[in-house]
């Protein structure tokens, strides 16, 4: 178990000499170790030269991002391994986040878990998305008709994160929730989003994908490029049993009228529910039509 203070079950305060609050020399040594969760990159030399960049804040946020749904509580040692941060830094950050209420300490495990006040950070994002109010009834109608799941997603580094999802009551698999993540390169919603962004932004992401997927990337890139061609030809792309072995889905991009906001939407289910012919002849075109209805709400 992690060591704790003897009063109140709260983490012990760390000494003034540890890395998170140390001098410039300590900061320079540890900066390259701030690993970006869900990206397999670190903050890099460009940030090291940026005087406006607040390293303590970046480190604290990466600690929060290290927790994943269903993963359970994490200790300082595990958080240090996930983030690449020195354990003394992690100890100070988990103490601060616990004091602020964003983490809870579990004494019997000697570990931390996300606390309810974190929801306060996401609520303004979701409540301010006018798109959700406009889209929900239409999404649910399509989900019911298809016996599938219909979701809207936003990029999160090299993944996609679901902002809203509607599911048919008959759906027994693929029951995703708000906050669920899928791989950008293997999912229909990710490939649809990649099709709608600019060439330069896509090229930069391709560099990250090459680092992440290494020898898998050439074949994955071919499939991403094929999906982009599908979007340009018919407005939607089909991904057949790549993200999961028995899941098929179609995806479409959602672009705001001024082009400043790009999201994506998909409709998917198990292969026994949706066959390729139905996805291509019925569900894909309906999803394109739905995208045209709700995209004007982006940015409201």
pLDDT per position as a tens digit, 187-236: 999 999 999 999 999 999 999 999 999 999 999 999 999 999 999 999 99
Q: Are the C-beta atoms of 163 and 130 separated by less than 8 Å?
A: no
For position 174, what pLDDT does the model report?
A: 58
φ, ψ dihedrals at 289, nearest 5°: -60, -45
CA torsion sign for 230, 231, 233, 238 is positive
CATH number, domain of 67, equals 1.10.10.10
User: Which residue, 60, 94, 117, sits at the end of a domain?
Assistant: 117
Regarding whether 204 and 113 lie in a shared domain, the answer is no
Instruction: Label residue 298 by pLDDT band (50, 70, 90).
Output: confident
| 122 belongs to a structural domain | no
Regarding whether 102 and 205 lie in a shared domain, the answer is no
| 3 belongs to a structural domain | no
For position 191, what pLDDT does the model report?
A: 98
Regarding whether 280 and 177 lie in a shared domain, the answer is yes
| 4 belongs to a structural domain | no
Sequence-ordered list of residues with C-beta below 8 angstroms from that of 134, at least 6 positions apart, any chain? 293, 294, 297
Closest CA to 95 of 167, 162, 20: 20
Instruction: Label residue 3 by pLDDT band (50, 70, 90).
Output: very low
Most confident of 47-56, 117-126, 286-295: 286-295
| 55 belongs to a structural domain | yes
For position 175, what pLDDT does the model report?
A: 63
Regarding whether 152 and 272 lie in a shared domain, the answer is yes
- By residue count, the chain amounts to 300
Regarding whether 137 and 113 lie in a shared domain, the answer is no
Regarding whether 283 and 165 lie in a shared domain, the answer is yes
Regarding whether 275 and 158 lie in a shared domain, the answer is yes
Q: How far lies 237's CA from each of 77, 159, 160, 266, in Å?
A: 42, 17, 16, 9
Is residue 8 scored above 60 in pLDDT?
no
CATH number, domain of 268, equals 3.30.450.40
Regarding whether 202 and 100 lie in a shared domain, the answer is no
Sequence-ordered list of residues with C-beta below 8 angstroms from that of 257, at least 6 positions apart, any chain? 295, 296, 298, 299
Regarding whether 196 and 291 lie in a shared domain, the answer is yes
Closest CA to 88 of 2, 189, 178: 2
User: Which residue, 61, 93, 117, sits at the end of a domain?
Assistant: 117
Total domain count, the chain: 2
Whole-number CA gyration radius for the chain: 21
| 147 belongs to a structural domain | yes
For position 68, what pLDDT does the model report?
A: 82
Model's pTM, two decimal places? 0.76
Q: Which of 19-23, 139-143, 167-171 has the lowest mean pLDDT?
A: 19-23
Number of helices (H), then strands (E), belonging to the chain: the values are: 12, 10
Closest CA to 80 of 92, 89, 72: 89
Determine the structural domain holding residue 104 and report its residue range: 19-117
| 284 belongs to a structural domain | yes
Regarding whether 222 and 292 lie in a shared domain, the answer is yes
pLDDT digits (tens, 9 = 90+) for 83-139: 888 899 999 999 999 999 999 999 999 999 999 888 777 766 665 566 777 888 999
User: Which residue, 63, 94, 117, sits at the end of a domain?
Assistant: 117
| 266 belongs to a structural domain | yes
The span from the CA of 71 to the CA of 84, in Å, is: 19
């Amino acid at each position: 178990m992690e060591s704790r203070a003897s009063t109140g079950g709260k983490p012990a305060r760390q000494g003034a000499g540890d890395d998170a609050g140390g001098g410039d020399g300590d900061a320079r040594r540890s900066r390259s170790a701030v690993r970006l969760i869900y990206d397999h990159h670190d903050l890099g030399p460009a940030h090291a030269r940026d005087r406006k960049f607040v390293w303590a804040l970046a480190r604290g946020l990466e600690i929060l991002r290290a927790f994943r749904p269903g993963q359970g509580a994490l200790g300082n040692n595990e958080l240090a391994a996930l983030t690449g941060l020195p354990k003394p830094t992690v100890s100070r950050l988990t103490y601060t986040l616990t004091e602020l209420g964003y983490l809870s300490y579990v004494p019997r495990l000697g570990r931390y878990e996300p606390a309810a006040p974190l929801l306060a950070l996401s609520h303004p994002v979701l409540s301010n998305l006018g798109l959700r109010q406009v889209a929900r009834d239409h999404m649910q109608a399509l989900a019911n008709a298809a016996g599938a799941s219909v979701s809207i997603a936003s990029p999160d580094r090299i993944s996609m994160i679901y902002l809203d999802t509607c599911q048919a009551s008959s759906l027994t698999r693929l029951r995703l929730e708000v906050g669920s993540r899928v791989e950008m390169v293997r999912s229909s919603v990710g490939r649809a989003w990649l099709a709608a962004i600019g060439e330069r932004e896509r090229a930069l992401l391709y560099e990250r994908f090459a680092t992440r997927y290494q020898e898998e990337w050439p074949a994955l890139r071919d499939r991403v490029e094929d999906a982009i061609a599908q979007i340009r030809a018919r407005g939607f792309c089909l991904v057949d049993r790549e993200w999961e072995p028995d899941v098929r889905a179609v995806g479409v991009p959602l672009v705001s009228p001024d082009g400043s906001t790009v999201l994506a939407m998909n409709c998917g289910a198990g292969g026994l529910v949706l066959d390729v012919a139905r996805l291509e002849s019925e569900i894909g075109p309906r999803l394109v039509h739905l995208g045209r209805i709700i995209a004007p709400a982006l940015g409201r």
